Chain A
Amino acid sequence: MTRRVVVHLLLGLYGLVSAYPFLWMVSGALQGTKEMLGGGHLIPRHPTLGTLAQTWTQLHFLRYFGNSLAVTVATTVGALAVYSLAGYSFGALRFPGRRLLYGCFVALLFVPGITMLLPLVILQNRLGLLGTRTGLILPGINATAPLAVMLLTNAFRAVPRELREAARMDGAGEARTFVSVYLPAVRPALVTLALLTAIPTWNEFVLARVSLGDPATYTLPLGLQDLSSSANPQQNTLMAASLIIVIPVVLLFVFLQRSFVNGLTGAVKG
Chain B
Amino acid sequence: MALPAPTARRVREALTGYAFVLPAVALFLVMGVYTIGYGLTLSFARWNGFSRHWTWVGLGNYLDLLYRDPVLAPAVRSAALRTGVVMVAAPAFAVVMGLPLAVLLNRIGRLRALYRTVFFLPYVTAGIAVYYAWTYALAPDGSVNFLLRHLGLGSLAQPQGFLGNPATALPTLIVVTAWSAVPVATLLYLTALQALDTSVLDAAAVDGAGGARTMTAVVWPMLRPITAAVVMLGMRDALQGFQLFLVMTNGGPGGHTTVLGLEAYDLSFANQFRPTLGLASALGWLLFVVALLLSAVNVRALRSRA
How close is A258's CB to chain B, nearest CB, in angstroms?
9
Judge if A163 is at the interface, Cβ distance under 8 Å: no
Is A94 in contact with B10, judged by CB distance below 8 angstroms?
yes
Q: Which residues of A contact B117 (CB under 8 A)?
A: 253-254, 257
Is B130 in contact with A21, judged by CB distance below 8 angstroms?
yes
Q: Which residues of A contact B239 (CB under 8 A)?
A: 112
Judge if A99 is at the interface, Cβ distance under 8 Å: no
Judge if B234 is at the interface, Cβ distance under 8 Å: no
Is B125 in contact with A203, judged by CB distance below 8 angstroms?
yes
Is A123 in contact with B108, judged by CB distance below 8 angstroms?
no
Is B243 in contact with A206, judged by CB distance below 8 angstroms?
yes
Given A18-B118, A21-B134, A119-B38, A268 and B31 touching (CB < 8 A)? no
| Count class of interface residues, chain B | 35 or more
Pick from A15, A25, A204: contact of B129, CB under 8 Å: A25
Q: Which residues of A contact B130 (CB under 8 A)?
A: 21-22, 242, 246
Q: Which residues of A contact B10 (CB under 8 A)?
A: 94
Q: Which residues of B contact A89 (CB under 8 A)?
A: 16-18, 20-21
A25 to B32, CA, bound (A): 38
Q: Which residues of B contact A19 (CB under 8 A)?
A: 118, 121
Judge if B166 is at the interface, Cβ distance under 8 Å: no
Judge if B107 is at the interface, Cβ distance under 8 Å: yes
A200 to B193, CA, bound (A): 28
**Contact segment of A50-58, A103-111, A186-194:** A103-111
Q: Which residues of B contact A49 (CB under 8 A)?
A: none
Judge if B56 is at the interface, Cβ distance under 8 Å: no
A90 to B17, CA, bound (A): 7
Is B129 in contact with A110, judged by CB distance below 8 angstroms?
no
Is A250 in contact with B13, judged by CB distance below 8 angstroms?
no
Judge if B188 is at the interface, Cβ distance under 8 Å: yes
Is B105 in contact with A11, judged by CB distance below 8 angstroms?
yes
Is B104 in contact with A119, judged by CB distance below 8 angstroms?
no
Is B184 in contact with A264, judged by CB distance below 8 angstroms?
yes
Interface residues of A in 73-93 (CB under 8 A from B): 81-83, 85-86, 88-90, 93
Pick from B24, B120, B134, B184: contact of A253, CB under 8 Å: B120
Interface string of A229-270 (1 = CB under 8 A from B): 000000100110111011001100110010001001100110
Interface core residue of A81, A83, A204, A221 (most chain B CB under 10 Å): A221
A82 to B32, CA, bound (A): 15
Judge if B233 is at the interface, Cβ distance under 8 Å: yes
Is A4 in contact with B108, judged by CB distance below 8 angstroms?
yes
Is A199 in contact with B242, judged by CB distance below 8 angstroms?
no
Q: Which residues of A contact B187 (CB under 8 A)?
A: 261, 264-265
How close is A215's CB to chain B, nearest CB, in angstroms?
16
A17 to B127, CA, bound (A): 17
A185 to B115, CA, bound (A): 31
Q: Which residues of A contact B128 (CB under 8 A)?
A: 203, 205, 221, 224-225, 245
Q: Is the interface of B mostly helix, strand, loop or mixed?
A: helix
Is A101 in contact with B16, judged by CB distance below 8 angstroms?
no
Judge if A149 is at the interface, Cβ distance under 8 Å: yes
How close is B232's CB to chain A, nearest CB, in angstroms?
10
Is A101 in contact with B21, judged by CB distance below 8 angstroms?
yes
Pick from B13, B30, B129, B134: contact of A246, CB under 8 Å: B129
Interface string of A198-225 (1 = CB under 8 A from B): 0110111110001000000000010011
**Contact segment of B63-71, B87-95, B151-159, B282-290:** B282-290
Q: Which residues of A contact B220 (CB under 8 A)?
A: none
Judge if B45 is at the interface, Cβ distance under 8 Å: no
A24 to B25, CA, bound (A): 45
Pick from A39, A86, A149, A250: contact of B124, CB under 8 Å: A250
A20 to B179, CA, bound (A): 11
Q: Which residues of B contact A (CB under 8 A)?
A: 10, 12-18, 20-21, 23-25, 27-28, 30-32, 34-36, 38-39, 42, 49, 97, 100-101, 104-105, 107-108, 111, 113, 115-122, 124-130, 132-134, 136-137, 141, 143, 146, 179, 182-184, 187-188, 191, 229, 233, 239-240, 242-243, 246-247, 261, 264-265, 268-269, 277, 280-281, 284-285, 287-288, 291-292, 295
> Known pairs A94-B14, A242-B129. 8 more at Cβ < 8 A?
A7-B108, A18-B122, A19-B121, A108-B32, A116-B39, A224-B129, A257-B120, A265-B191
- Leading 9 A-B pairs by shortest Cβ distance: A203-B127, A115-B284, A95-B17, A21-B133, A95-B14, A242-B129, A89-B20, A86-B24, A142-B31
Q: Which residues of A contact B (CB under 8 A)?
A: 4, 7-8, 10-11, 14-15, 17-22, 24-25, 28, 39, 42, 81-83, 85-86, 88-90, 93-96, 98, 101, 104-105, 108, 110-120, 122-123, 138-139, 141-142, 145, 149, 174, 178, 199-200, 202-206, 210, 221, 224-225, 228, 235, 238-239, 241-243, 245-246, 249-250, 253-254, 257, 261, 264-265, 268-269
Q: Supply 26 A–B pairs (Cβ within 8 Å), ascending by A.
A: A7-B104, A14-B119, A18-B118, A19-B118, A21-B133, A22-B133, A25-B129, A81-B23, A85-B21, A85-B24, A86-B20, A90-B21, A93-B17, A112-B291, A114-B287, A116-B35, A116-B36, A142-B28, A145-B24, A203-B129, A205-B127, A206-B243, A253-B120, A257-B116, A261-B116, A268-B229
